[in-house]
Amino acid sequence: MTGQASIQSPPAGIISGTCSFFWFLMVSVLTSWLLIPSSVAAALFQPVNDGPRLYLEPYLSARIETIHPGDRDPGSMAFQYGDPDKEGMGRGMATHRVKAGESLLAIGRYFGLGFNEITAANTHLDPWNPAQDALVNIPQFWIFPRAALDHRGVVINLSEMRLYYLRRDGWHGTFPVGIGREGLETPLGTTHVIRKKAKPSWHVPASIRRADPSLPAVVPPGPDNPLGSHAIYLGMPGYLIHGTNRPTGIGHRVSHGCIRMYPKDITTLYHQIPMQESVLIVDESIKAGWLGNALYLEVHALPTKRDHSGAILAKPTSGQRLEEATQAVQRALSRRALVTVRMDWRRMEELVKRADGIPRKIGTIVDVVKRKERSLTLERYLEDRYTLFQPTRKKVRIYLKE
């Protein structure tokens, strides 16, 4: 009809094709749902829970699943390639249901965690005799120490008792360690690998022989050798990264100052690390880092320390710890100088009090600063944002272009 818009019915073939596609889509969705294992389905569709039992981040929920022994080889996380937008490594929080006779110590070792990590993440469980079928949290995500952001080589963080190996080809690995006990603390500083030895002999230091005269001058390779199967000698005289014949010491401060590793982990590191590789030993109990557009905070409890008389030294107050966390967050924010971040400062206070070593999100990028509001020079931008990755000026201009 003239002057009116006409509405034409679609051809019958189109209707038939649309219906066919609709039914195909419905059947595909239902089939996929039926084929998803129950453990994966539960993880994919479980709501976020920040309660005492389990913490799941939305960005990681699609990768989280319940893990059972036998699903993969035991030991620490395999090397993964670094991502410029991630100031950490790992996949998040997994879970494991306790089987008869299992302890948190055995579960932690299986999944590449030290005793300190597995117990801090599961304070609701008896570490030696957890209830059968209880749900165990398996932390599998770590923020890099600040020193690791501009360092290539080994970084050992004493506060979390964890070693990071950031190789120069971009691959990263991380392993739990045992460190020096009170009075024989592992020293801080920078050193390098000077020697490597498979099946090492232990030349017992005179100070240890004085404490235990029954020890021989040299302990040959074997099950009684505390150095384990491999040893990596450092430029700090008398200090090594080595295996152990007592894996229960990983995640404890029990050594005479050396860095102990699980037998499987020292074998992996031994074959990866070259001579003269840099080794940096730091003590960062509070770390803040970015994972894409999200800012995470990781807080570890401080150990009890004593003075020469044996008196317990006072720990930093909650206010001092909060100030330390604020400084770590401010440094992380400075590494994203051209964005606006929505912060949850109350959650940051809660994490400082909790100090369980599990990274949790405290901030999200909500906007990129407009070009006319950008006051940083290109040189300052390169310094703040890309110190580690050193892009070309052309790449930065492309990024800044609106």
Judge whether 281 and 77 are in contact, CB under 8 Å. no
Judge whether 112 and 96 are in contact, CB under 8 Å. no
Max distance between CA atoms of the chain, in angstroms, equals 112
The phi, psi pair for 361, rounded to 5°, reads -75, 130
Across 292-332, the runs of DSSP E, i.e. the strands, are 294-299
242 included as an active-site residue = yes
Question: Rounded to an integer, what distance in angstroms lies between the CA atom of residue 381 and that of residue 339?
Answer: 12
Residue of 96, 230, 258, 300 with catalytic role: 258
Residue of 242, 271, 300, 308 with catalytic role: 242
Calculate the alpha carbon distances from 66 to 38, 90, 219, 367 in Å: 10, 16, 43, 35
Question: Rounded to an integer, what distance in angstroms lies between the CA atom of residue 259 and that of residue 191?
Answer: 13
Alpha-carbon dihedral 74, 167, 329, 344, rounded to 10 degrees:
-40
Active site members: 242, 258
